[in-house]
Amino acid sequence: MKLTIVGTGYVGLVTGACLAEVGNDVLCLDVDPAKIAILQGGGIPIHEPGLQEMVRRNAAAGRLRFTTDVDEAAAFGTLQVIAVGTPPGEDGSADLQYVVAAARAIGQRMNDYKVIIDKSTVPVGTADRVKAAIAEELARRGVEIPYAVVSNPEFLKEGAAVEDFMRPDRIIVGSDDERATLLLRALYQPFQRNHERLIVMDVRSAELTKYAANAMLATRISFMNELANLAERLGADIELVRKGMGADPRIGYHFLYPGVGYGGSCFPKDVKALRHTASEHGMTLKVLTAVEQANAEQKQVLLHKVVKHLGEDLRGRHFALWGLAFKPNTDDMREAPSLAIIEGLLARGATITAYDPVAMEESKKLLGDKIAYAKSPLAALGQADALLIVTEWKEFRSPDFDTIRQLLKQPLVIDGRNLYDPKLMRELGFDYDAIGR
């Protein structure tokens, strides 16, 4: 199949590369010439395991191309996949200007049947807006060309996006057009060889499914974080509680890990957008209001622990910070808990040296020279009053504890990801403070 992907961010680039990988002919469009230049040069503008190799392989095979030419892109694909950003507005609503602009660009140029696929995470009713925008452009041109608009939300985890696309647990298609549904069934056939993963539903239900899934995951995280804070006061160990809960198949083990709050480009934005959608329809989503509030407070938990150990005035204090990205295997720092922690430490007069395997360049764009950076985890520790662990990168799991103790001014480790055994840490001579333990 011939596909045009509009937008080369996380969703667009992963979608384009994975669809090319199974033999489709894919043209990726972006209005940012710098981004397209990187892609045409064999690089990728984001960190995502396995993606660069896949992009290079399919570009070399001629199945994956990149352009800034809107005319070429609109003419190319029978399937036009809209995967542009939907940043949150001031009121929490999803900003649809880029989605609607992409739809209008297609409507202004299309000359034959097109299926416009909403891949971006968009509020319920967006497909209707896309359909109306295209209809307006066709009417302005005085032409009648058949087209369909379908919802096909992505369920990709940053850091595992390629694997998630190639081995999906479900493929949601919201469509009321039989021809479009058949085309999408054909498109996704290579990804569901062993059993049917494609679920067809009406467009509005598909749009809501994406928000509902992310809101549920965010709810589990905030719930566990609140339980962890309670466990700490009760003298219980949340890690043991987590195992006891997860053993119940109705609950399961996924997304039961307490920590320093969720971040990234999805959960914070989608929870806000879903709450905004509800308020537009005269409803308050009380559970999600609490989820958001609990998450904002959880991002301060590490800071409260620092103050508990070292006092409110941190002038003259220096901290080592392990982890900047909002989660491992990505350089994404959008809404990252590290930013709230750094802001709180700096406001109290502290200095910071941070290490992250891939997010330090991204951090420098956001923070400039407000903090220092180290070339390795151990290099960050010199003269630090405490080590703060913010992101659970694998390389932090089995460090050289003897060297850590020697390098720190005092053996204080405040662990926001519960990486270590508290009993072992005490035996090694550390003052170890984790979440809910």
Active-site annotation holder among 96, 133, 266, 386: 266
> CA 12, CA 78: separation in Å to the nearest integer?
16
Read off the tokens for 413: 């480790």
Torsions phi, psi of 150, nearest 5?
A: -125, 155
CB 429 within 8 A of CB 413: no
> CA 13, CA 34: separation in Å to the nearest integer?
15
> CA 215, CA 222: separation in Å to the nearest integer?
11
Could you give the 3-state DSSP secondary structure of residue 232? helix
Listed residue (130, 128, 16, 21) closest to 83, CA to CA: 16
> CA 254, CA 267: separation in Å to the nearest integer?
16
> CA 222, CA 241: separation in Å to the nearest integer?
15
Counting Cα atoms < 13 Å in the Cβ hemisphere of 145 gives 23
The CA-based angle 174-77-27, given to 5 degrees, is 110
Read off the tokens for 308: 């508990």
Indicate the residue type of 356: D
DSSP state of 83: -
Would you list the DSSP string of 248-302? Answer: STTT-STT----S---SSSHHHHHHHHHHHHHHTT---HHHHHHHHHHHHHTTHH
Could you give the 3-state DSSP secondary structure of residue 231? helix
Listed residue (130, 133, 128, 116) closest to 81, CA to CA: 116
Catalytic site residue 18? no
Q: Residue 307: how many CB atoms within 10 A of its CB?
A: 16
Q: First CA to last CA across the chain, in angstroms?
A: 53
* Residues assigned a catalytic role: 266
